[in-house]
């Protein structure tokens, strides 16, 4: 922290506020002292608000840069794997080969669920949205590990991280199996993290499932690209829930709930629904016009971002992966991909989108890959939640292992002034 100051004039008052600089990125003005001056800052949607200090992820939206503990997302997607990225996000450094091997083994040994958890699934209708099931089952994990919930104990936080990383694929795959009336598949320790997920999703007890290595690599890349993203809406939800001292499983469940919205993690499902609704390249102009019409709530799903005012670096990697997967499956002429590619080209040339710096985001191509692999659209955000669990947990862990206060924003009150209850 430095001794630099910003001066704010409010009425006849001149208020001096500390200014801090991070490693990189915008400086921040510490406005905590304003409440003593009788004024609040006003920032609905937190467009210009740094809610915390963090060392986990850095985004430079103007230049399309995303770093996890300093490492560019493109390099991690190309050279690492999801479990190594989990270790990096959680611990701050890449593991040594021995640490990496030990971490992979640890995660394998936590992939099973307590067998009584099967009953939670049975309480849902078969046609329940998988996100509703995941939200309920993950929240219920807190009922099974209550004895290891001392958030001040680093060792208990570590084992909770291992349990969440390991169990989310099992829960996610079981959400899918439950929805199609197929038996749950138990995890296999001879498979990689991504292979195991595909096995639990598409395997059946009647025969051995042999994961396609190209699809498993694509899944692992999707997990890496969705792992963390600074103080996005769902991560901020997890931090706020965690600031009350709530147990980590309940906090992660709050993140799942926040991610579900179509403006956030639900966008990948909404992209596929949009492409299906467009149906043919000849209809694209009509939908571009709808997206630009202020009187029409329709937005081009998979485009735009609160922070990226340039290409989302994850979208570029995702577009390459989409091509690899569709070629592997002989779907390179997939009509949805053709519509998506043409939509992207038109949008990037259209003045409305260019002026507002609306580029494809991480959700634009991910759905095309997942659909090609055979995953239903209702499962897309479940996979996003599974991957983002490490990001949510790492931010929660960073907060509770340091100094923090309960999050309690204020407001601009525009309701009725004091008035008396009418005499009877």
Write down the least CB distance from residue 409 to ligand SDX, Å: 18
Write down the least CB distance from residue 266 to ligand SDX, Å: 8
Q: Cβ closer to ligand SDX: 108 or 305?
A: 305
Q: Cβ closer to ligand SDX: 63 or 327?
A: 63
CA separation for the pair 112, 115 (Å, rounded): 8
SS3 category, 71:
strand
Q: Which one of the listed residues 226, 305, 312, 395 is annotated catalytic?
A: 305
By Cβ distance, which residue is nearest to ligand SDX?
Answer: 304
Q: Cβ closer to ligand SDX: 195 or 312?
A: 312
Q: Cβ closer to ligand SDX: 181 or 297?
A: 297
Write down the least CB distance from residue 299 to ligand SDX, Å: 4
Write down the least CB distance from residue 59 to ligand SDX, Å: 7
**What pairs with residue 111 in β-bridges?**
none
Among candidate residues 236, 353, 340, the one with its CA nearest the CA of residue 304? 353
Q: Which one of the listed residues 81, 220, 228, 363 is annotated catalytic?
A: 363
Q: Cβ closer to ligand SDX: 104 or 299?
A: 299
Distances in Å between the Cα of 187 and the Cα atoms of 86, 197, 370 are 19, 8, 20
CA separation for the pair 329, 368 (Å, rounded): 12
Residue 278 host element (H or E):
helix 267-278
Which residues lie near ligand SDX (CB under 6 A)? 45, 229, 232, 263-265, 267, 291, 299-307, 356, 358, 361-363
Which residues are within 8 A (CB) of 36 and not within 5 positions of it... i.e. 6 or more apart? none
Is 129 tagged catalytic? Answer: no
Is 363 tagged catalytic? Answer: yes
Burial string for 45-80 (b: 16+ CB within 10 Å, else e) reads eeeeebeeebebbbbbbeebbbbbbeeebeebbeeb
Write down the least CB distance from residue 57 to ligand SDX, Å: 9
Active site residues: 305, 363
């Amino acid at each position: 922290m430095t001794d630099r100051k910003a001066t704010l004039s409010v009425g006849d008052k001149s208020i001096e506020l500390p200014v801090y600089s991070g490693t990189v990125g915008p400086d921040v003005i510490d406005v905590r002292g304003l409440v003593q001056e009788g004024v609040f800052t006003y920032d609905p949607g937190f467009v210009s608000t740094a809610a915390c200090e963090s060392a986990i992820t850095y985004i430079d939206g103007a230049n399309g840069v995303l770093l996890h503990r300093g490492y560019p997302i493109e390099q991690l997607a190309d050279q690492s794997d999801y479990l190594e990225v989990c270790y990096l996000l959680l611990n701050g450094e890449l593991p040594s080969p021995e640490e990496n091997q030990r971490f992979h083994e640890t995660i394998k040994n936590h992939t099973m669920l307590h067998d009584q958890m099967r009953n939670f699934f049975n309480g849902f209708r078969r046609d329940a949205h998988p996100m509703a099931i995941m939200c309920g089952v993950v929240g219920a994990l807190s009922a099974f590990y209550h004895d290891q919930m001392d958030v001040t104990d680093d060792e208990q936080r570590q084992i909770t991280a291992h349990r969440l990383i390991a169990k989310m694929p099992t829960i996610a795959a079981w959400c899918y199996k439950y929805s199609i009336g197929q038996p749950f598949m138990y995890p296999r320790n001879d498979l990689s993290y991504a292979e195991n997920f595909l096995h639990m999703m598409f395997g059946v007890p009647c025969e051995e499932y042999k994961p396609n290595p190209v699809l498993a690599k694509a899944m692992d890349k999707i997990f890496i690209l969705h792992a963390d993203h600074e103080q996005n809406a769902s991560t901020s939800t997890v931090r706020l829930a965690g600031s009350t001292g709530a147990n980590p499983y309940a906090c992660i469940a709050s993140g799942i709930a926040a991610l579900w919205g179509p403006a956030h993690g639900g966008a990948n499902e909404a992209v596929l629904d949009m492409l299906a609704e467009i149906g043919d390249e000849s209809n694209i102009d009509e939908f571009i016009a709808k997206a630009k019409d202020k009187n029409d709530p329709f937005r081009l799903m998979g485009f735009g971002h609160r922070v990226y005012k340039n290409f989302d670096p994850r979208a570029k990697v995702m577009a390459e992966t989409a091509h690899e997967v569709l070629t592997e499956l002989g779907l390179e002429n997939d009509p949805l991909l053709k519509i998506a590619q043409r939509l992207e080209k038109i949008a990037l040339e259209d003045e409305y989108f260019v002026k507002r710096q609306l580029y494809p985001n991480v959700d634009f191509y991910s759905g095309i890959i997942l659909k090609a692999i055979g995953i239903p659209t209702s499962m897309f955000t479940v996979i996003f939640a599974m991957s983002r669990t490490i990001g949510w947990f790492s931010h929660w862990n960073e907060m509770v292992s340091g100094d923090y206060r309960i999050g309690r924003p204020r407001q601009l009150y525009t309701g009725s002034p004091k008035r008396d209850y009418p005499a009877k």
